[in-house]
Structure 1
Amino acid sequence: MTSKNLIQLPDGYLNRTPIFQYIMLSMLFPMWAVAASLNDILITQFKSIFELSNFASAFVQSAFYGGYFLVAIPASMVIKKTNYKIGIVTGLIFYIIGCSLFFPASHMATYTMFLFALFAIAIGLGFLETSANTYSSMIGPKKYSSLRLNISQTFYPVGSIAGVLMGKYLVFQEGKSLQAQMAKMTPEEARAFGEQMLQHTLEPYKYIIFVLIGMLILFLVIKFPACKTVTHKSSTSKKPSILETLKYLSKIKNFRKGILAEFLYVGIQTAIWSYTIRLALELNPQINERFASNFMVFSFIAFFVGKFVANLLIARFSISKVLTAYSLIGSLLLVYVAFVPNMTSVYAAILVSLFFGPCWASIYAKTLEFVEDKRHTETAGAILVMSIVGGAVIPVIQGLVSDLTGSMQLSFLVSMACFVYIGNYFYKEMKKESMVKQEEKTIKAM
């Protein structure tokens, strides 16, 4: 343990939170946010350079979130056999390797190689998220598990803003948009120009590598509590296999609902952020990518403010009540984005980020609480992280709708439909909470 006064309870939670280790853990959250927000930059860059449709360009997110999906269960197995710290260290190593692959990718100048590099980064981030999300909820008293994860998640927008700013100043260049510039070139000139522009994609990842190496060293030398269920040597119970855990989890109705809600939430968030720059360029062809990236900065600022305000509201109202209201307003804003044909739609898309709130952390922590047998916690956390694959699916569907309808705006109805489901999910949770409170009042009155 990290302190004489720190006690690990049988269910894996601690009697108090070790502040320094918790801060270190929370600093991981902006690191995967940086990578995710850079994807929004890459989608715009690759679409013009490789002459991709909206559907094809969305495969940036498919490679990224597909890696999360595939690695989550292996990551949980590593954590189960070792500890959360080993999972984090493994994730940082793969993250560094993935960033390094951007160097050969820029020289090979093929879309496939870039997707492979993003997939490698996603393997690292899959380990990090599987470890850090569950670890953040566990590293302290159980009653504050959701609050701890929400606080850690508050750092996410900081990384998102940093990623977009790096994309704006290191990847995007001054002058007309890439599409406008390349339209006037011969095929040979466009190919040479595209290869030159691809070199700029290296710059953000150089800085990320240095930060990751520093974090890796710190995690290697600092001691962290285990936060795993205590099993006595005299106990005859064995650790459950993956199949046993999956069978157990599949029977929990609320766990299944949480998985779907998380899947759709990540899909909405990824789709909206993936296409905000494209929406701005479509509605105003006079602006370039560097200027349009400002709208992403505003989106992430709105996201941060929305999470902060939501945390204040949660102190007075239930999480379900706050997020039901957030989802309703977000859905209405997306209807506006879909049908109002001017730049105010872009600002409406920015405002949607204000109402994402603490959805991810709240669904994650709440769904994990339904797993009463804590021997299954690591795998349950991994499956929740696997639901991030929604970020690989929803943007592709939205891109396909955009190509089929010829309208980027109408494609936002896909995200709106997902947001309606999220609102319904939290509304039902709110009704359950009201019924429980009413029953408690009735019992006290008797």
Structure 2
Amino acid sequence: MGNSMSAPQSAVPPVGAPMNSSSTYVFPLLVMTSLFFIWGFITSLNDILIPHLKSAFELTYVQAMLIQFTFFGAYFLVSLPAGALIRRIGYQNGVSVGLGVAALGCILFYPAAAIQQYWLFLAALFVMASGITLLQVSANPYVAVLGNPDTASSRLNFSQAINSVGHTVGPLFGALLIMNGDHTQVAESADPAAVQLPYLMIAAFLILAALVFKFLRLPAIAGDNSDLGGASHTSAWQYPHLVLGAAAIFLYVGAEVSIGSFIINFISLPEIGQIDERTAAQYLTLYWGGAMVGRFVGSAVLQFVRATRALAFNAVLAIGLLALVILVEGRIAMWAVLAIGLFNSIMFPTIFSLGIRGLGAHTSQGSGILCLAIVGGAIVPVLQGVLADSVSVSMSFTVPLVCYLFIGWYALVGANKH
């Protein structure tokens, strides 16, 4: 999402595998962590597709935001079926299937561009996102389980930082091969065919990765029902801090995705950055790069600072930066919107950990609820698109500002409602 999501799965290592034998798990952890890079890379390309296809098909902002609506809507529709599939075929096979499905989605970009039908692009995105959902359902619990349980959070934070590396590199790839592949002027319509070669390249890589994962020898992990302590309710839905945490995840993912989706169009405005969209696409890397740096730094800082305080601090700074985006023009507004990525960094894992705290036997159900809340990435960008079309792009950033207000309240109040 820079958005790193956890899956609705509960798992333990194979019988007889010592949890503290970290050397046993180094290779499989490195292999699985590579998946976080892959889906971060692919997800960030949506921020290149939005302005490119908006120009190619002369779309409104709302129509362009259907890209994120379709992509993140797949999380909501596919997460639970993906979990059921993983329980049947195993985590490693799930990774291979997910990579294959994502590759199919990438291949579908070719006929979509040839026919020049926007709805076919959306169909391709849904297929691709379904494959990525399978990857997340497989990889998140796998990384959490392999190794010492006391360092599970550290492993996930590192994997999420690698996800941010993918988010950072993706826009550079897109700017080079998609926007530079279109040789028209900014004022003219972009060429849908510019996406064909880049997505075929990604498809080839995903197919190769699927074959590699199919034949790798990785430790097996299985489901577990041993987490029976600490439950005081009959359902995870009875924990107010979880339900409020799901709302915070919904709004956070929505805000992060929405801001990233609008950055290119925003900073290329004459009154903001006065740059063309290809150059703006390169600046987008700073937004996701900030999240990457913040996650590496945050993983160290959170060892000494309470999670609720760190979350509140970051939310307040994000609100302040958005106020600048809305109220001022020029390079100040441009750098303010790019800097938000730095303060997004720790939000998802922090909200997630606060949401499942103290759930006991309902932890797995709570994780599933939080995973479904990722659908905020589908809804919030459309809402911002409505405001951009009806008022202005600058004023549309009021939508993510409201999201961060709730996140700040959750950090200070909602997370303590047990």
TM-score in same-fold range (> 0.5): yes
CA contact under 8 A between 2:354 and 2:415: conserved in structure 1?
no
1:50 to 2:57 alignment: yes
Question: Which has the larger displacement, 362-371 or 113-122?
Answer: 362-371
My pick for the range that moved more, 166-175 or 387-396, is 166-175
Aligned equivalent of 1:126 = 133
The alignment partner of 2:355 has SS state of helix
Distance 1:13 1:408 in 2: 54
Of 85, 90, 93, the residue aligned with 1:78 is: 85
Runs of 5+ in structure 2 lacking a partner?
1-11, 227-233
Q: Which residues of 2 match residues 369-408 of structure 1 at below 5 A?
A: 369-373=357-361, 377=364, 380-405=366-391, 407-408=392-393
**Which structure has the larger Rg over C-alpha atoms?**
1
Aligned in 2, Cα 1:51/1:294: closer, same or farther, shift over 3 Å?
A: same
Q: Is 2:146 aligned against 1:116?
A: no
Asked if residue 294 in structure 1 is aligned to residue 301 in structure 2, the reply is no
C-alpha distance in structure 2 between counterparts of 1:48 and 1:99, whole Å: 21
- How many Å separate the matches in 1 of 2:254 and 2:277? 23
**How far has the Cα of 1:249 moved from its partner?**
2.8
| Residue equivalent to 1:322 | 310
| CA pair 179-8 structure 1, distance change in 2 beyond 3 A | closer
Assess if the C-alpha contact under 8 Å between 2:315 and 2:404 holds in 1.
yes
Residue of structure 2 equivalent to 1:235: none
Instruction: Name the CA shift for 1:231/1:316 in 2 (closer, same or farther; >3 Å).
Output: closer
- Equivalent residues of 1:265, 1:418 under 8 A apart: yes
Q: How far apart are 1:207 and its partner, in Å?
A: 2.3
Provide the residue aligned with 1:189 in structure 2.
none
Give 1:333-352 correspondences, 5 Å limit: 333-352=321-340
Q: Which residue matches 2:406?
A: 421
* C-alpha contact 1:323 1:357 (8 A) present in aligned 2: no
TM-score norm. by structure 1 comes to 0.82
Provide the rounded CA distance (Å) in 2 between the counterparts of 1:305 and 1:112: 36
1:213 equivalenced with 2:207 (yes/no) = yes
- Matched to 1:384, the amino acid is L
- In the alignment, structure 1 segments of 5+ residues that lack a partner are 1-6, 183-193, 233-246, 434-446
Q: CA deviation at 1:124?
A: 0.4
Question: Taking structure 1 as reference, are residues 77 and 175 closer, same or farther at Cα in structure 2, changes over 3 Å only?
Answer: closer
2:175 corresponds to 1:162: no
Alignment correspondent of 1:201 = 195
Whether the 8 Å CA contact 2:104–2:127 is kept in 1: the answer is yes
2:178 is aligned to 171
d(CA) in 2 for partners of 1:334, 1:13: 48
- CA 1:93–1:9 in 2, change beyond 3 Å: closer, same or farther? closer
* Whole-angstrom CA distance in 1 between matches of 2:212 and 2:198: 22
The TM-score normalised by the length of structure 2 is 0.87
Q: Is the 8 A contact 1:76 1:382 kept in 2?
A: no
Residues 49-101 of structure 1: CA deviation (Å, up to 9, x unaligned): 11111111100000100111100010111123343223222211111111111
Corresponding position of 2:96: 89
Report the CA distance shift for 1:14/1:229 in structure 2 as closer, same or farther (over 3 A): farther
Contact 2:39 2:166 in 1 (8 A): yes
Instruction: For residue 392 of structure 1, report the CA deviation from its aligned partner.
Output: 0.5
Q: Which residue identity does 1:150 align to in structure 2?
A: N
Q: What's the CA shift for 1:28? A: 0.7
Give the alignment partner of residue 272 of structure 1, picking from 259, 263, 272.
259
Pairwise CA RMSD: 2.7
Match in the other structure for 2:241: 254
Structure 2: distance between partners of 1:112 and 1:13: 50
Secondary structure class of the residue paired with 2:410: helix
Identity %, equivalent residues: 31
Which letter maps to 2:255? I
Give 1:140 shift. Answer: 2.4
Contact 2:244 2:414 in 1 (8 A): no
Q: Would the alpha carbon gap of residues 36 and 13 (structure 1) be closer, same or farther in structure 2, given more than 3 Å must change? A: farther
Structure-2 separation of matches of 1:362 and 1:351: 19
Contact 1:33 1:157 in 2 (8 A): yes
Could you tell me how far 1:203 is from its partner in structure 2?
2.5
Task: Quote the residue 1:439 is aligned against.
Answer: none
Q: Is the 8 A contact 2:51 2:264 kept in 1?
A: yes
